[in-house]
Every structure is written in C-alpha cells, then in structure tokens.
Structure 1
C-alpha cells in the first residue's frame, strides 16, 4: 500500500527534492512489478495481459496525479485577498498576524522593520483598481512608518508605481535618487516609492532622512512575488490543479 504523500504546504519550500525522489522511486517499483507479472501466465492470454498493463498504467497515473494535485493547490493568499473590500467605497479590512504569515508564504514581503526597532501596530488590506494592496502601520515608540505594498502589473513606466494612486512616481511629484530605484518626496513627513518585480511599495515616515536607505532596503529584503496576484482565486477543479502542480514539478528540473 502506497503511503500518503505529504502536502507541500507542510514545508517551507513549495515542493521538496525528497518528495520528487519518493515519487520516482515508487513509480519504478510499480513498473518493476508490472514487468514481472507480464512474464507470468498472462503472456499466453490475449485479454489478461492488456488488462493488467492498463491496471499498472492507472496505478502510475494515480500516483503522479495525487502528487500533482497536492502540489497544485491554490495560493493560500487568495482566500485572504477575497475578504478585502474594493476601495474607496469599501474602506479597509483588518489583517491579523495569521493572515500576515500566509501572505508571506505566498510571496508577499509584509515588512515589519524589526531590525530597525519597529513593531507592527496595525495591518489592513484593500483592493485598489483590481490590485490587492496591504497597508502596514509601524512604530518604534517615537517614530512612525506606514508601508503600502501593492501587487499588480507594471505601470509601463521607468518610474515605479505609486501604490496609492496607481500612477508612475514621476507623475505624482516624486524625484529619483541615485540610479532611480527609489523615488522620494521630501518633507517633515517624507514619502518614498520603490518597486521590486511587479510589487511596488510606498513608505511614509517622519524618521530622520538618514534612516531612508536602511528602511527602503528592508522592503526588498523579504520574499516578493514575481507574478501578478489576481483578485479572484485560481480555478480549483481537478484539471486546473493538476496542470498547476505539473508546471511546478517540471520547473524543478
């Protein structure tokens, strides 16, 4: 009896090398068993031999299908994002620590700036023009930082997108710093926009300007997603999950 294949969501990585090795090993065992049985009296029967071969094929397909089905499970963040209202009419939805952890597993950064002495006071989520956006309020007892993290398609501009407006930062009055990776709007409460892949960030803070570089660097040090997160979750039917799982398995080669 084939032991149950562990869910890939019980580990930190999407799928482990150990899971792949077990799948290949069990497939080889099934193939060996089929070959041995075909050398028995079945070889003299024109009906039993194809029937047994078909049974072996079903067993192998079932083994891979079970693994692919588990690997291709929907992104856990989609259930969370589905609860977020569309702004401005819907306001913002509170996001708890458990949901923050799930978002991070799905590729969101959700920066807490803990290394800079900050702690998370509040997290909220909303959908801005079809793009899921997270708002994080942080403080260190004296200074405050608000970070917006938005996942969407590229703005089509060399300047990063302002997560609040959906405009290129240059259109909203931001000026590039250095190589143009960070765009700044100076003032007593300064604002900085930067992007990593299809994720854009807006940081609003009253910290001293000297804190700008380490603070913005912390935004891109965590996991980020390189694929657009749709507001509606992926199809959960068997065919869709098998295709997603197969794509992930092939990506490991």
Structure 2
C-alpha cells in the first residue's frame, strides 16, 4: 500500500521538540535521568514496532490462492481485458481485485501507460514506468482459473524462462520470490512467486534494474493475500519467522 509522504518540516520539528524537551528536563535538574528514560522508552517503542511487524510478516501466506481469491483476481481482469489500454482508474480497479500493478513510486518512477494482455493464455498486465528519461516495463502475470502457476513464463515470448536461457538465483527462501536472469540479456529479469510472475524489460542501467528487482521482491514477500499455513502456530514462532523475513525477504540481481 502507498504511504502518504510526511510533511517537509517533520525532521526539523522532531529535532526542535526533542531539544526543547531535553533543555526543559536539564533546567529541572533531572535532565540525564529523564533523557535516559526517554531513550529507553523510544527503544522499547521501536522494539515493539519491530516485533509487531515481525508477527504480521510471520503470518505470510505460503499457500496457493483459494478459489474465491483467484476468481476475484480474474473477474477484475476480465472486466478490462477487451479494453487493452488502461486508465489510472482502471489500474486502481485491478488493484482492488488483488492485482499488484506496481508503480515503483518509492524509486522515483511514474506510470506512463498500462494495458492488459495474455501470456500463453494467462491473464497479465503490462505497465510502462518512466523516470528521468529511463523506462521500464513490468509485466504482471497471474495463473489461469484452477492453475497452480506450475511454469515460470517469460511474458514477452510466452515461453518457459529455462528455455529462454534464464536461471534462478541460488539461496532464495520459501518466503521470497525466485529471481531469474540471463547474463546475455542484462536488461531483463523475471521474478516468480507462488501466485504471480513478474517480467522486467528495460534499457536502464543494471543497478537500476537490480533495485527494481529488490523492491518488487520485498513487496511481494510482504503481501498478505491468504491465511498462514498454520493458523494455530504460536506467537513466538510467528515472530521468529517474521524476523527472518525482515532480515532477508527481498532479493536482487
């Protein structure tokens, strides 16, 4: 989900408020003690946020989409499949149906155009993103009705990535998408997760593509589309699992 940007004076206001608080506490003769208590309170709050986030991530979906969820995805796509070119409102409609339609605004990209297509019979959406003269096309492909996404397909050719000469990066975890790349095609990469495949095609520098892969990998790892495999697992297990994800959920080239 998109997070609203903070006000430009947020940092200065935090510093000013902190300085004023410390000065007031010092004048009261208990500056150091209260400062230590304040720091301890902040650390406790931050730890609480980390553990809470770890608990949520520890409940990450690892099962395939349920039939109703997959039907919801496909229904949203079917309503727009004949239109090909999509408006911003129609892209939002797909997101409401469960599609990601990533715009990568965190990396400075903006959406230039979007369209629907099929990849070897699978529903897909192509988004062209631009940034300072650079452009990258993100293909988001979903399984067909009843499919378990058994093959990883290259969205441009419609062929399995292995046949196209791509190989998966080693060391991927069960919670992170696989990253496929071919050294002879540095402007392309494929990410495959249990319920979605992304194909990236661009002429931007390799470091830009790597940051895009990392952003997509991390965001897809954090998607909570279905219940966890073991809903009765304990809180400690979920927190530990979530901390592991926080430490290395994202993948890059």
TM-score by length of 2: 0.50
Are the aligned partners of 2:138 and 2:198 in contact in 1 as well (CA < 8 Å)? yes
Establish whether residue 200 from structure 1 lines up as the match of residue 197 from structure 2. yes
Q: Cα deviations across residues 56-115 of structure 1 (Å, max 9, x unaligned)?
A: xxxxxxxxxxxxxxx99x838625424414xxxxxx711111111121122211011111
Q: Cα deviations across residues 104-141 of structure 1 (Å, max 9, x unaligned)?
A: 12221101111111111000002333321100101102
Establish whether residue 163 from structure 1 lines up as the match of residue 158 from structure 2. no
Are the aligned partners of 2:186 and 2:206 in contact in 1 as well (CA < 8 Å)? no
The secondary structure found in structure 2 opposite 1:134 is: strand
Establish whether residue 107 from structure 1 lines up as the match of residue 98 from structure 2. yes
Establish whether residue 128 from structure 1 lines up as the match of residue 125 from structure 2. no
Q: Against the structure 1 CA distance between its residues 165 and 224, is the aligned structure 2 distance closer, same or farther, given a 3 Å change threshold?
A: farther
- Mapped partners of 2:211, 2:72: distance in 1: 31
Are the aligned partners of 2:73 and 2:99 in contact in 1 as well (CA < 8 Å)? no
Offset of residue 177 of structure 1? 2.8
For the pair shown, which has the larger CA radius of gyration, 1 or 2?
1
- Mapped partners of 1:123, 1:189: distance in 2: 23
Are the aligned partners of 2:128 and 2:137 in contact in 1 as well (CA < 8 Å)? yes
Q: Give runs of ≥4 in structure 1 deviating > 4 Å.
A: 222-227
The secondary structure found in structure 1 opposite 2:162 is: helix
Provide the residue aligned with 1:177 in structure 2: 169
Q: Against the structure 1 CA distance between its residues 154 and 179, is the aligned structure 2 distance closer, same or farther, given a 3 Å change threshold?
A: farther
* Count of aligned pairs: 151
Offset of residue 206 of structure 1? 1.7
> Which sections of structure 1, spanning at least 5 residues, go unmatched?
1-70, 86-91, 228-250
Offset of residue 192 of structure 1? 0.1
Q: Against the structure 1 CA distance between its residues 80 and 127, is the aligned structure 2 distance closer, same or farther, given a 3 Å change threshold?
A: same
- Mapped partners of 1:122, 1:78: distance in 2: 21
- Mapped partners of 1:81, 1:144: distance in 2: 27
- Mapped partners of 1:83, 1:103: distance in 2: 9
Offset of residue 179 of structure 1? 2.9
Matching residue within 122, 139, 143 for 2:134 = 143
CA RMSD of aligned residues (A): 3.4
The secondary structure found in structure 2 opposite 1:193 is: strand
Q: Cα deviations across residues 139-193 of structure 1 (Å, max 9, x unaligned)?
A: 1022110110000134535xx3323344331111113334362111345761001
Deviates more, 1:121-130 or 1:195-204: 121-130
- Mapped partners of 1:77, 1:155: distance in 2: 14
Establish whether residue 118 from structure 1 lines up as the match of residue 109 from structure 2. yes
The secondary structure found in structure 1 opposite 2:90 is: helix
Provide the residue aligned with 2:210 in structure 1: 213
Are the aligned partners of 1:112 and 1:118 in contact in 2 as well (CA < 8 Å)? yes
Q: Against the structure 1 CA distance between its residues 122 and 177, is the aligned structure 2 distance closer, same or farther, given a 3 Å change threshold?
A: same
